[in-house]
């Protein structure tokens, strides 16, 4: 019974909009269908969510968001970094921020060495740590970068 009522309402909506936009151009026709289809997709999202079909509810919800608000849902929007070298909001030009260079003391601490370590000890400590923390072995890019930077600072 609920399916018949929904089909009847959709049929009435279809014929009302079809009669209203019979002589309209394509752009007017599409704009006229945007809100009704957005509402139908919103109702479908609720129905799918109540029946446990979260994957389809997500898709219909994104479609409803696009039709009702005219933008791509925030989940689909790509985040692009703004150029740091251009003028800021206040009109002043700011150079891109560069992280501070690692100190020798910090580099020794990262590699677990004492002051006065030889180049062979530095290379051995670097090799041992990088094998444990490399991203391919389950480590993180951040740790591998810090270990590499520490080696570079101490061998420079």
In this predicted model, which residue has the larger pLDDT, 69 or 126? 126
How high is the pLDDT of residue 121?
92
Residue 112 exposed, middle or buried by CB count within 10 Å (0-12, 13-18, 19+): exposed
CATH of domain 104-155: 1.10.287.110
| pLDDT for res 137 | 78
Domain-by-domain residue ranges, the chain? Answer: 2-69, 104-155
User: pTM of the entire structure?
Assistant: 0.39
CA torsion angle 83 89 90 91 (round to 10) = 50
pLDDT reported for residue 88: 47
> 7-36: per-residue pLDDT in tens?
787 777 777 766 666 666 777 766 777 777
Dump pLDDT digits (tens) for 50-80: 888 888 888 888 888 878 877 766 666 665 5
Give, in order, the Cα–Cα distances in Å from 64 to each of 46, 70, 77, 145: 11, 9, 16, 43
pLDDT, one tens digit per residue, over 69-120 is 777 666 666 655 555 444 444 444 455 555 668 888 888 988 898 888 899 9
Task: Give the residue among 128, 126, 131 at the shortest CA–CA distance from 147.
Answer: 126
């Amino acid at each position: 019974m609920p399916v018949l009522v929904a089909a009847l309402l959709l049929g009435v909506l279809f014929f009302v909009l079809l009669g209203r936009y019979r002589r309209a151009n394509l752009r007017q026709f599409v704009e006229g269908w945007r809100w009704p289809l957005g509402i139908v997709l919103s109702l479908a999202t609720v129905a799918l969510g109540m029946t446990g079909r979260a994957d389809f509810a997500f898709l219909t919800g994104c479609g409803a968001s696009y039709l009702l608000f005219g933008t791509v849902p925030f989940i689909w929007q790509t985040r692009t970094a703004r150029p740091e070298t251009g003028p800021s909001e206040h009109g002043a030009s700011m150079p891109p921020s560069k992280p501070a260079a690692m100190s020798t003391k910090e580099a020794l601490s990262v590699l677990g060495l004492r002051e006065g370590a030889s180049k062979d000890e530095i290379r051995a400590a670097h090799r041992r740590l990088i094998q444990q923390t490399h991203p391919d072995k389950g480590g993180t890019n951040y740790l591998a970068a810090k270990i590499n930077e520490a080696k570079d600072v101490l061998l420079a």
